[in-house]
Amino acid sequence: MNYSVHPSAIVDDGAQVGEGSRIWHFVHVCGGAKIGKGVSLGQNVFVGNRVAIGDKCKIQNNVSVYDNVTLEEGVFCGPSMVFTNVYNPRALIERKNEYRNTLVKRGATLGANCTIVCGVTVGAFAFIGAGAVVNKDVPDYALMVGVPARQLGWMSEYGEQIPLPVDGAGEYLCPHSGQRYRLNGKILKRVSQ
């Protein structure tokens, strides 16, 4: 085994866990889960069977990653944030055949206590504020807050809010890293350096 597991954690047979990953107290990883390299699963995390977690993801305490959720590389899941997998659940009606796919793209941050309603895609390097409820797709680099979540601005790959345009051409500058971004309509892209 080339990853670490706390004695109180359960990793079911068949689970794929990448090198250098760390599985902390009271975690349960189901047998069908695929977890990449260098992943950290905090205390009391649950990972379902039909879940894929990319390299270098950090999942903080008390997060359940249910079936049909895919996290690409470098996703951050804040403490007690929530994924759903059934849009209209009822205890008296079996709806496991109605699970909706949820995709969180590379480098996105999901803040503490936010909720990601099933069936959405959260764009690359998007930033979901603490307590927000995301019920529709989120563009790359978008800063989302509120209930339901609405876009407040843009975030850089470094994790800093991008201020107003540098010039009339629609270019934005990360105040920390100096990375440049260009807005084309409602799509923000990093300008190669």
Q: Give the pairing of strands 109-110 and 82-83.
A: unpaired
Whole-structure pTM value: 0.95
At the topology level, CATH places domain 4-159 in UDP N-Acetylglucosamine Acyltransferase; domain 1 (2.160.10)
DSSP H/E element including 187: strand 187-191
Q: Is 159 exposed, middle or buried (0-12, 13-18, 19+ CB in 10 A)?
A: middle
125-134: long-range contacts, CB 8 A cutoff, minimum separation 24? 125/155, 125/156, 125/157, 126/155, 127/155, 127/159, 130/78
| Local confidence band at 120 (pLDDT 50, 70, 90 cut-offs) | very high
Phi and psi for 50 in degrees, rounded to 5?
-100, 60
| Local confidence band at 90 (pLDDT 50, 70, 90 cut-offs) | very high
Per-residue pLDDT, averaged over 112-122, amounts to 98
Domain residue extents for the chain: 4-159, 160-193
Q: What is the DSSP letter of 169?
A: T
Q: What is the pLDDT of residue 1?
A: 77
Average pLDDT of the chain?
94
User: Between 1.10.238, 1.20.1260, 2.30.30, 2.20.70, what CATH number should domain 160-193 receive?
Assistant: 2.20.70
Residue 193 confidence (pLDDT) above 90? no
Per-residue pLDDT, averaged over 32-47, amounts to 98
Which of the two residues, 129 and 162, has the higher pLDDT score? 129
